[in-house]
Structure 1
Amino acid sequence: MTIQKLMQNRYSVRSYSQMPLQPEHLAQILNAGRAAPTAANRQPQRVLVVRSEDGLERLGQCSRSLFGAPCALIVCTDRESAWQRQQDQFNSATMDASIVTTHMMLQAWDLGIGSCWVCAFDPDKVRRLFNIPDNWQIECLLPLGYPAADAAPGPNHSQRKPPEATVFDEQVPEQT
């Protein structure tokens, strides 16, 4: 499958089979995250793999958006190790985590594994229940699993704004 087809076909899976991920598939997904570019190659991402019944139950206390996935990643960043722009102190940690997470999502889909980017969670509870250091920012949760037979794209999956609403040539036009 071409990368273009992969990106167009991938959707947020909200219904998972209970079949555990094959270890080699999980390794490929995690390696895709490691291969992702980060600002100045600082690699501030920190990824916790949660797949035990106890771990998934604890994570379920923090978010209702795991959708019964047999595995979930807690994607964090060490903001102190991320690159910072001198002019305005922009910290690249969240951007870097987004690139890493996107790489993992696309690799998962290529392997027939669904995912759903989750930001609806209680970060304080996740931090406490998973012993996450205070200097790490919890960026997102990424449930992973083989899609259930009833899994399907959401109704808005293929809706996109027209290119002229999001892409500008040379400069932003005057606002009216």
Structure 2
Amino acid sequence: MEFFEVVKERYSCKKFDGRPVEQSQLDAILEAGRLAPTAKNLQEQRVYVVQSENGLAKIDKITPCRYGAATVIAVAFNRDNVFTYPGEKRDSGIEDATIVATHMVLAAKAAGVDSCWINFFDPEIAAKELNLPENEEVLMLLDLGYPVEGTKPLATHNQRKEISETVTYM
């Protein structure tokens, strides 16, 4: 699939058929995350693939937004391994994990797998429920799978502001 077609066609699937993602597709998705750039190449991301019945039950306790996906990726970052920016008010943790997650979202579509970016959960509860180390913060959950037949993007999916409303040349 050509890049701009991936970007245009990707949507947040809210109804999965429950089939697990094929390993070759999952490997491609995870590799895209691994290749994502991070500040100072610290690679502080931590990616957890949840597919077991027990693991998915934990996801269901964390959020009501699994939508029947048989594979969920939790993207976290190691707070002890981030780059602190000048001014010391921000660090690279959230943005680097976001870049990794975005690479995986787009790779999923290119691999023929639908996804849904989930941020409707409490990160502290998620980290505890998934038994993550204390120094890791969960950024997002990524539902992966195949849509139930007839599933479509939300009606507003293609509604975008004109570029002149969001871009300013200086």
Shift of 1:86: 2.4
The DSSP-based 3-state class of the residue aligned with 2:142 is strand
The residue type equivalent to 1:95 in the other structure is: E
CA distance in 1, matches of 2:93, 2:9: 28
CA distance in 2, matches of 1:167, 1:88: 28
Over 4 Å off, 4+ runs: none
In structure 1, the partner of 2:127 is 127
Gaps of 5+ in 2: none
For the 8 Å contact 1:12–1:153, the answer to whether it is kept is: yes
Deviation larger for 145-154 or 82-91: 82-91
For the 8 Å contact 2:39–2:83, the answer to whether it is kept is: yes
Say yes or no: does 1:17 pair with 2:17: yes
In structure 2, the partner of 1:162 is 162
Give RMSD over aligned pairs: 1.1
In structure 1, the partner of 2:77 is 77
Deviation larger for 118-127 or 108-117: 118-127
In structure 2, the partner of 1:60 is 60
Shift of 1:140: 0.5
In structure 2, the partner of 1:174 is none
The residue type equivalent to 1:20 in the other structure is: P
TM-score by length of 2: 0.95
In structure 1, the partner of 2:153 is 153
Gaps of 5+ in 1: 171-176
In structure 2, the partner of 1:106 is 106
The DSSP-based 3-state class of the residue aligned with 1:8 is helix
- Point out the structure with max Rg over C-alpha: 1
In structure 2, the partner of 1:173 is none
CA distance in 2, matches of 1:92, 1:37: 11
